[in-house]
Amino acid sequence: MLDQVKKHVDRSDEIERLLADPAVASDPLRSAALLRERASLAKWVAPWRELDSVRKQKADAHAMLQGESDPELRKMAQAEIEALDAREGPLLKRLEEMLLDTDEESSRNVIIEIRPGVGGEEAALFASELLRMYMKYAERRGWKVDLMDTQVTDLGGLKYGSLSVEGEDVYKYLRYESGTHRVQRVPATEASGRVHTSTATVAVMPQAEDVDVEINPADLQVDTFSAGGPGGQHVNKTQSAVRITHLPTGVVVACQTQRSQIQNRKLALQWLRARLYERQQEEKARRRRDLRRSQIGTGDRSEKIRTYNFHDNRITDHRITFSVHNLAGFLEGDLDLMIGKLLEVEREEKLKKLARS
């Protein structure tokens, strides 16, 4: 357990050395990324330093206890060891709690992709509700949201949607949303009142910093085009939409929701970097399968992670067999109870793993 904490502290020390390097200081993008990383690691430094100090003092006290023959000095050394033990226990517990509640990616911003699955137009309408739900949830938590790309159907459903979410611990709370979401309800277009089952798929990808993924501008093909959809003459007549192709990998991203070509380009680059980071992590770690495939799946009902049942006013997460009976509120972004339970279950699993190790 403490090896992971020491890695965080060593990385914090390394960042301090890098920030003192004039070559790094002259690179605003890299400096900003390192400063953000240092801020995310800061919480580990003080408790680790205190624990390290306590353990060194304990070692000195034990050496005194073993090497002293004077009863009074031995008594003092023993008392000091007991006092240091009383400090060490809470510090270890605190670090353990911190490890259970976080990992190296939990503080990252995310990009969410949503697509309709099985169910035709009803699936597209459900996908649009999920997009709105995540935007509402982000609003409740005070996060910043940027729509990156949306394609809608004639009835207002969502053919495809992507958004960027930025804020504190975004990936920590949204990582559980990846997978197939199923809805059971009577569609507005269903005259006979028959319940339909449809699906939509959600993929949540952690955003990468500039230092995580280096992109050579020469590897990019950037195209601009007129944005479609609502927005009046500006969107339809200006070349504000941006499509970026990463030539070495063939990854393509497009952003057309912002009025400014510069802003669309910025968001598209964030999206591209997230996808390349995802590929990089897969190749480097080998502990993940194809992340987007495992998150999105095929949209088949059998792959569901959660069911939204309108008749029973119930949302059930099948991974933890937990239900919330507040469907209207849930779709308005009130996800705290469900996500809190998912966090709790994950924490319990980590505790079991620590106990076995």
- Are 206 and 105 in contact, with CB atoms under 8 Å apart? yes
288: three-class secondary structure by DSSP: coil
pLDDT, residue 232, reads: 41
In this predicted structure, what is the pLDDT of residue 55? 93
- Residues 268, 148 contacting (CB under 8 angstroms): yes
Give the integer Cα–Cα distance in Å for 126 and 351.
36
DSSP state of 355: H
Return the SS3 of 230: coil
* Dist CA 190 CA 195 (whole Å): 8
d(CA 333, CA 338): 11
Q: Indicate the SS3 state at residue 224.
A: strand
Q: Which helix (H) or strand (E) holds 148?
A: strand 144-152
Helix count (H) and strand count (E) of the chain? 11, 11
Please state, in angstroms and rounded to a whole number, the distance separating the CA atoms of residues 64 and 73.
8
From the list 196, 215, 343, 199, the residue with the least C-alpha distance to 279 is: 215
Residue 259 dihedral angles phi and psi, to the nearest 5°: -70, -25
Burial classification of residue 90, based on how many CB atoms lie within 10 Å of its CB (0-12 exposed, 13-18 middle, 19 or more buried): exposed
Could you report the average pLDDT of every consecutive run of 10 residues in the chain (357 residues)?
Answer: 84 93 89 86 91 93 87 89 93 82 78 94 95 97 92 91 92 92 87 87 86 83 76 54 92 86 88 84 55 51 83 95 96 96 87 69
User: Taking the model in full, what pTM does it have?
Assistant: 0.69
What are phi and psi for residue 335, nearest 5 degrees? Answer: -100, 0
CB distance 213 to 277 below 8 Å: yes
> What pLDDT, on the 0 to 100 scale, is given for residue 289?
47
Residue 226: helix, strand or coil by DSSP? coil
pLDDT computed for residue 228 by the predictor: 63
- Torsion sign over Cα 21, 276, 208, 264: positive
Give DSSP secondary structure letters for 8-63: HHHHHHHHHHHHTSHHHHT-HHHHHHHHHHHHHHHHHHHHHHHHHHHHHHHHHHHH
| Domains defined along the chain, listed by start | 2-101 (1.20.58), 104-357 (3.30.70.1660)
Q: How many CA atoms lie within 13 A of 57 on its CB side?
A: 18
Q: Can you give the pLDDT at residue 155?
A: 87
Distance CA 290, CA 281 (A): 10
Judge contact between 330 and 315, C-beta under 8 A.
yes
Sort strands 179-185 and 304-309 into parallel, antiparallel or unpaired: parallel
Question: In this structure, what token pair is assigned to residue 78?
Answer: 């023993």
Looking at residue 297, its pLDDT comes to 53
Q: What six digits make up the tokens of 22?
A: 């004039």
Helix (H, G, I), strand (E, B) or coil at 211: coil
**Two tokens, residue 272:** 């591209």
Q: Are 131 and 214 in contact (CB under 8 A)?
A: no
